[in-house]
Amino acid sequence: MDKIEYFLNSKDKALNKLYNARLENKLDDGIKEIIKLINSHRDYFTSSSCSGRIVIIELPELGDKKGAKFLGKWHREVKYLEVKTAVQLANSGMIWLLAQSPIIHVITKSYLLADKLIKIAISSGFKNSGIKSATGNIVIEICSTERLDSPIGLNGLLFSSQEHLKLLVDISNKIIKRSRKKLEILEKNLKKND
């Protein structure tokens, strides 16, 4: 299979997966239009995406992603009580509050096309964007610098004071608001550069 055929085959599989995710309502509302724009371009397609999220997660051990248990996950701003309620579900392991900016993985055929998209992403505020992999298809990661990863408890016990947790929730919400603005800019720049 040649490189173009491999790219087209990969795109077809990814778009089928995306179609199923839409049917199951698993696609973030805040990123749908950008995903549609990228996937409508003949030289690009998305393999995964997230519009940004706030998460309460319990890890049995530092770095143990497989054993991780999501206690709360929101692709929007949250209220302090939502976070507090999610924390109460914890029982064993480290409790973390995470706020993550948007991330989009895009596949393209060439370095020239990858460079063009990376420049659009960076000019839109996604400063951590770059090539993630160059084996087979070229994988670009569009992401920003804003994030918060804070341990807040252990084995079901919250160590953060109410004031500290409220501060972390406030910072997390600011990350989500800022992410939304950057997504709007990215969408506008993608339309302009199509």
How far, in Å, are 10, 22, 55, 61, 77 from residue 67 at the CA level?
30, 27, 15, 8, 26
pLDDT tens digits for range 127-140: 999 999 887 789 99
Q: Provide the whole-model pTM.
A: 0.89
CA end-to-end span of the chain: 29
Is residue 1 predicted with pLDDT exceeding 70? no
Backbone phi, psi, residue 67, to 5°: -90, 0
For 3-192, give the CATH class. alpha beta
pLDDT tens digits, residue range 33-89?
999 999 998 899 999 899 999 999 999 888 778 889 999 999 999 999 999 999 999
| Sequence ranges of the domains in the chain | 3-192
